Amino acid sequence: MSTPKTTDAPVHIESSDQLDELIADSAVVLVDYHADWCGPCKMLEPTVKEIAEETDAVVAKVDIDELQELAREQGIRSVPTLQFYAGGEQVKEVIGVQSKADLVDIIDAAA
């Protein structure tokens, strides 16, 4: 399956391999680990969607209930957790609701 280099909508991740491919093939990736039952995740949802639409970063959404093993492998203990990748390497991780400006600053610094 070929993953687009940039997209203006968040990409719903369905497997660890899909996430690995996305990170390897994209310049900057924001991975949003979330859960349907998580209130702060719901608060962050519109911000993450806007970032996908307004920046060149690829935004990947990982439901920790659907992909428990992936979340465990990544050491995700709290949601929302946001990981930032540049050139295939993780450059930053933040936990909890963040301002859009702060998240865009991280993406700009990674680009």
* Packed helices 100-110 and 39-54: angle between N→C axes, nearest 10 degrees: 50
* Active-site choice (27, 38, 91, 94): 38
Compute CA 93 distance to the chain's CA centroid, rounded to the nearest angstrom. 10
38 noted as active-site residue:
yes
* Active-site choice (23, 29, 31, 41): 41
82 noted as active-site residue:
no
Residue 51 has, within 13 A of its CA and on its CB side, a CA count of 30
Annotated catalytic sites, by residue?
38, 41
